[in-house]
Chains A and B, each alone.
Chain A
Amino acid sequence: GDSVTQMEGPVTLSEEACLTINCTYTATGYPSLFWYVQYPGEGLQLLLKATKADDKGSNKGFEATYRKETTSFHLEKGSVQVSDSAVYFCALSDLSSSNTGKLIFGQGTTLQVKP
C-alpha cells in the first residue's frame, strides 16, 4: 500500500543553520505531496504542497520539490530560526488509487532550533 517514510528525529540545529528533512514515498498512482507542521501546543497546519512531478512547494522560507524519479519530497530551509522548532510531517494523497482523498502521513520529525 501507499506509505511515507521520514528521517528519524529529533533534529537539533543552531539558529541560521541549513535544514533538510528527508521524505520518501511509495504510491501506486500519481500522488499529491504535502508537508504539515505542528508547533508546540497547536494543531497541525499545512506548510506547503506539490501536486505533480517537478513542482516546487514553498512557504515561510521552506521549500520542497516533488521528485518522481527518486520518489522524494525533501523539506529544505536555508536559515532556520528558533520559531521553526516544531514537528514536521510529510504526507501524500493518492486519489487515483484510493479515490477517498485520505492523507497518509509519515511518522513526523521533531526539529529543535537553539539560539
Chain B
Amino acid sequence: GAGVSQSPSNKVTEKGKDVELRCDPISGHTALYWYRQSLGQGLEFLIYFQGNSAPDKSGLPSDRFSAERTGGSVSTLTIQRTQQEDSAVYLCASSKETLYNSPLHFGNGTRLTVT
C-alpha cells in the first residue's frame, strides 16, 4: 500500500478484555514505532522495532502491554485486561532507516475506548 495502515480504526471494548491492534508498515521500511496519543497529551512513545535488533520496549506503561513484529513487517500491539486509562489513539509509524536519514510515516491510528 501507499502508506502505513492500521486496523481497526476504532475499537470499543469492555474493561478487563484483551485487544489487539494491527499495523502494516510501508513496504521496505525497517523501523516501526508505536505511540499513544491521549486527549490533551503529546505522543507517548511505547515501543520501537528496527530490523532484526531487539526491540526498545522502554515506553510500554505496564506488563499488560506487549508488541511483536512478524517477519520484519506487520506488527501487533496487544493490551491485556484493558483499563479505562488505556483509552487513547494508538499510532503506528514506520521509516526506511534511522531518523537521521528518513522521516516517520504515520498511520491514521486506532481509537481505543475502554468502557
Interface size grouping (class) on chain A: 20 to 34
Given contacts A44-B91, A45-B106, contact A107 B99 (CB under 8 A): no
A-contact bits for B1-20, CB 8 A (1 contact / 0 none): 00110000000000000000
Which B residue sits closest to A4, measured CB to CB?
A: B42
Residues of chain B with a CB closer than 8 A to A46's CB: 103-104
B100–A51 touching, CB < 8 Å: yes
- The answer to whether B40 has its CB under 8 Å from any CB of chain A is yes
Which B residue sits closest to A46, measured CB to CB?
A: B103
Given contacts A43-B106, A44-B106, contact A105 B42 (CB under 8 A): yes
| A6, A101, A108 pick with most chain B CB within 10 angstroms | A101
A106–B99 touching, CB < 8 Å: no
CB distance from A13 to the nearest CB of B (A): 21
B4–A43 touching, CB < 8 Å: yes
CB distance from A24 to the nearest CB of B (A): 14
Residues of chain A with a CB closer than 8 A to B42's CB: 4, 6, 89, 105-108
A-contact bits for B51-90, CB 8 A (1 contact / 0 none): 0000010110000000000000000000000000000000
How far apart sit A34 and B41, CA to CA, in the bound complex (Å)? 18
CB distance from A3 to the nearest CB of B (A): 10
Which B residue sits closest to A92, measured CB to CB?
A: B99
Given contacts A43-B4, A44-B91, contact A103 B104 (CB under 8 A): yes
- The answer to whether A81 has its CB under 8 Å from any CB of chain B is no
In the A-B complex, list the 4 residue pairs whose CB atoms are closest, starting with the nearest: A46-B103, A107-B42, A105-B43, A43-B106
Which residue numbers of A lie inside 8 Å of B, CB to CB? Answer: 4, 6, 32, 34, 36, 42-46, 49, 51, 89, 91, 93, 95, 98, 100-108
A43-B109, A46-B104, A102-B48 are known; give 16 further A-B pairs, CB within 8 A. A32-B100, A36-B104, A42-B108, A43-B3, A44-B106, A89-B43, A91-B43, A95-B100, A100-B56, A100-B58, A101-B31, A104-B45, A105-B42, A105-B45, A107-B42, A108-B43
